[in-house]
Amino acid sequence: MDEEGSRRRFLKSVGALSAALPAAAAAQHAGHASAKSEKYMFLAPAEVTFLDAAVARLIPADELGPGAKEAGVTYFIDQQLFGGYGVMAKMYRQGPHAEGTPQQGYQSPLTPQEVYRAAIAEINAGCAKQYGKSYDQLAAAQQDEVLRALEEGKFPLEAVPARFFFNMLLENTIEGFFSDPIYGGNRGKIGWKLVGFPGVAAVYTHLVEKHGVPYDALPVSIADILEGKAALDEHGHPKHVLLVRKD
Amino acid sequence: MATKLKPVDAVVVGVGLSGSILAKELAEAGLHVVGLERGRWRDTDPDFAMPHAHDELRYVKRHELMQDLSRETITFRNNTNETALPMRSLGSFRPGEGVGGAAVHWGGLTWRFLPWDFETRSRTLARYGSDHWPAECTSQDWGVTYDELEPHFDRFEYLYGVSGKAGNIKGKIIPGGNPYEGPRAREYPNPALKTAYAGALFKEAAEKLGYKPFPTPSAANSQPYTNEYGATINGCVYCGYCQFFGCEMGAKASPQTAVLPNLMKQSRFELRTRANVVKVNLDSAKKRAVSVTYIDSRGREFEQPADLVLLTSYVFNNVRLMLLSGIGKPYDPAANSGVVGRNYAYQTPSGVTLFFEDKVFNQFMAAGGLGMTIDEFNGDNFDHAWLGFIGGGFFQAATSGSRPIEVRPVPRGTPRWGAEWKHAVAKYFNRSFPITIQGACQSYRTNYLDLDPAYRDAYGLPLLRMTFDRHENEHKMSVWITNKAAEIGKAIGPSKMTVSPRTEKYTIVPYQSTHNTGGAAMGAEPATSAVNKYLQSWDVPNVFVVGASAFPQNGGYNPTGTVGALTFHALQAIKTRYVKRPGPLA
């Protein structure tokens, strides 16, 4: 079977759900859907601006559909930083602190909250020095250049190693793009639609041996179920709605 | 000042896989048993209920079911020249916390170690000679053989309703099963799980290459099953939220589904949750445990006297409690003396990822332990004479649940972010699958556990310190067997394939496996083992230390089946011999 063809058919069939809209239109659509409801708890406006720009380069909007910015990843990061993750609620924080070896992992005395606050300020200051502009004002290619320099440790930061911040940002961006929309990211299930992941699982007992048959289901989120938008079986599994294939 | 409580017959420290079974059996045998669990009570309802049970961020990334490191962690270094630093966030492994322990979020693969695994040293020397033995390797015989453990493997598999296909019943090779396994008394209690597409392709290719593929034995029950404790485990629905999750269906065997319904009805058993045991108190001669001290959630300290103390927590806490309590002589790698903390080992996981242009796999329709395996390259199932290493691992085309935060393979060379990454993720999320290898890990003089000199837990007690790196033997093994897996991968015909042997310096950062082993190793000699073949402390015979902490080295399988067998093995010795006549059993 021509899988690229089937992917196109899939996208066509969910066009009304924005996955197949041109990037700009999709962005507008997603923004319209929920940007207004965002109430930031931790991030300052300049930090929101920075993150909107940075996550849009990490997972860009393109012909496949919206990217991390449109998926609400900045808001996801805000919510995570304000919650237990942001203050290392389940992490060991006692000193003494030492940088250690790469094999020894996270050793910063700073919490993720403090890491974001310090690193974003330093990166904007560095961009101002090098380009005369804050990060969000740079051209896309320059933004990528800055991200690559952080990734390779060539854009020095004082508060934490540049790679450390870059890896945290990339990890949180991927989390925000693919986690359940209940956390504020993956808006419109953009991430799940991109890869064909159905979200909250249905009963697959009768399907697991249907080898090689694409499973084009409308993804179901935890919120869909809590809001009564998905039909459920007796164990609380959603009954997935399969998309009609239009050849 | 500790409040001294009324004495009981036995105290179980850690109510997980081993602790729940021992508590149930001993209470039924007439002992008054108290179970002390540092975490909280958890059960299928409400803790693993839909729809929140299917939340990848919460369970996989924010570690809902796993140890709270803010209270207690370990420190880690690769070797004694480094300063150990605390594991501040969970990475390489994910120990559990709370009733059921890590057996709540385990993946369900339920193996019997090979007969060879229990006699690693003597069989290697007999077949290859001492020149073949890896430098500094302290792997040893367990003091117990596969044949002695067989009835206990059987009992555990029937308790947990394991789904699989026997390959060797009483010496007769059964087609469709694992011809390399030790002889078993009878078939598995439940038929094997269904076969996913990845497993079907792997099976076909492996058979063409002359191997004998078989379904991976799994504790995700293939059909509703009622065990000897009267507990009913449901049939798996292949939802794919298994490893790192609690099972909303009650279909994955665990203490919650297989044991607790019975245990909690035992009139001679009492469970105390949020009871953190900080010490086993010994008599003045240090030959007998008299009580354990624990701290509750209000900070109150209690002393619970008991005739019998069973340490049944995860590897790290079993060893740490021994060290904090002075049970057995701490291991000293410089002098090569002492036993507690000796023979810490891990796993050497590696694998091959196959990418396709024209096939979809729906790897999210999955179960823990859903897969097709070959065992040709495990243990000593192949000739190591010219290979320069010992050990191996099983290969499995795994369909254990693809969720996109953690499982989103892209071909090697793909950037980590940006448009090209996005295209690759979109294309291959559903057009790839892995062949995973659960590589063995030998024990070495330089790998051990002891108490950290600097870092403390929430009670001000020293953290456990891990000094560990894999040795050349593991790297050589991983390269060789991973290339063998790649041959099968190639025969399946992917458009691209990533081959990833494990050869780098051990790092505690990326997740690898929650298969930590050893530190309270079992054996026939008190000079080289902390516990005897019945998992009884050589030095303090009314203390038994039960769990993977007893493995002298780790085999090329997931450890839980063998932990279950050791639990029943220890239980039999306690019930039939120790209770009647307390004292050393070996």
Q: What is the mean pLDDT of residues B139-143?
A: 98
Note the pLDDT tens digit of each residue in B110-132: 999 999 999 999 999 999 999 99
- CA dist A156 and A38 (Å) reads 32
Q: Which residues of B are catalytic?
A: 515
Provide the 8-state DSSP code for B433: E
Give the model's pLDDT for residue A154: 97
Please list the helix, strand and coil fractions of chain B in percent, rounded to the nearest 5, in that order: 25, 20, 55
Residue A2 has a pLDDT of: 42
For chain B, say whether A9 makes contact (Cβ under 8 Å): no
Question: Which of B365, B400, B403, B466 to substitute to test the interface with A, most A CBs within 10 Å?
Answer: B365
How confident is the model over B279-320, as pLDDT tens digits?
A: 999 999 999 999 999 999 999 999 999 999 999 999 999 999
How many residues belong to chain A? 247
Interchain contact, B88 vs A147, CB within 8 Å: no
Provide the pairing of β-strand B496-500 with B289-295: unpaired
Pairwise CA distance, residues B54 & B31, whole Å: 40
The more confident residue out of A14 and B4 is B4
For chain A, positions 200-239, list CB contacts with chain B under 8 A. 200-205, 207-209, 211-215, 222, 225-226, 232, 235-238
Is B200 a residue whose pLDDT tops 50?
Answer: yes
Type of residue found at B326: G
| Residues A203, B237: C-beta atoms closer than 8 Å | yes
Question: What are the pLDDT digits (tens) for B224-265?
Answer: 999 999 999 999 999 999 999 999 999 999 999 999 999 999
User: Among partner residues B49, B89, B419, which is closest to A91 by beta-carbon distance?
Assistant: B89
Minimum CA–CA partner of B71 in chain A: A92
CB-based contact, A181 to chain B, within 8 Å: no
Query: For residue A74, how far is the Cα from the chain centroid?
Result: 8
Cα dist. B301→A68, B9, B457, B460 in Å? Answer: 50, 20, 16, 14
Q: Do residues A143 and A53 make contact, with C-beta atoms less than 8 angstroms apart?
A: yes
Q: Average pLDDT, stretch B395-419?
A: 97
Residues B50, A106: C-beta atoms closer than 8 Å: no
Please tell me the distance from the alpha carbon of residue B459 to that of residue A87, in angstroms, as a whole number: 21
- Rounded to whole angstroms, the Cα distance separating B335 from B321 reads 23
Site from A64, A85, A103, A166 to mutate, B interface, most B CB atoms within 10 angstroms: A103
Nearest-angstrom CA–CA distance, A232 and B91: 35
- CA-nearest residue to A238 within chain B is B51
Largest CA distance in chain B: 72
Q: Which residue has the tokens 């229990």?
A: B118
> What pLDDT shows up at residue B222?
98
Q: Residue B402 and residue A147: Cβ atoms within 8 Å? A: no
What was the ipTM of the complex prediction?
A: 0.97
Run of H or E residues at A16: none
Q: Which of A144, A178, A225 sits opposite B404 (nearest CB)?
A: A178
pLDDT at residue A33, rounded to an integer:
44
CA distance A89 to chain B (A): 7
Query: Where does the pLDDT of residue B98 fall: very low under 50, low under 70, confident under 90, or very high at 90 and above?
Result: very high
Q: What is the pLDDT of residue B28?
A: 98
Mean pLDDT, range B24-46, rounded to an integer: 97
Band (pLDDT 50/70/90 cuts) for residue B1 is confident
Alpha helices per DSSP H over B442-522: 472-492
Mean pLDDT of chain B: 98
pLDDT at residue A243, as a whole number: 85
pLDDT on residue B167: 98
**What is the pLDDT at residue B175?**
98
* Per-run averaged pLDDT (10 residues), chain A, 247 residues: 41 37 41 62 98 98 98 98 97 96 96 98 98 98 98 97 98 98 97 98 98 96 96 96 73
B197: pLDDT strictly greater than 80: yes
pLDDT at residue A244, rounded to an integer:
72
Nearest CA in chain A to B418: A58
pLDDT of residue A24: 40
| Domain coordinates in residue numbering, chain A | 7-195, 198-247
Q: What is the pLDDT of residue A38?
A: 85
Q: What pLDDT shows up at residue A36?
A: 54
Place of tokens 């021992």: B22
Residue of B nearest to A216 (CA): B362
Instruction: Note the pLDDT tens digit of each residue in B334-380.
Output: 999 999 999 999 999 999 999 999 999 999 999 999 999 999 999 99
- pLDDT (0 to 100) of residue A18: 36
Residues 43-62 (A) with a CB less than 8 A from some CB of B: 57-60, 62
Rg for chain A, CA atoms, rounded: 20
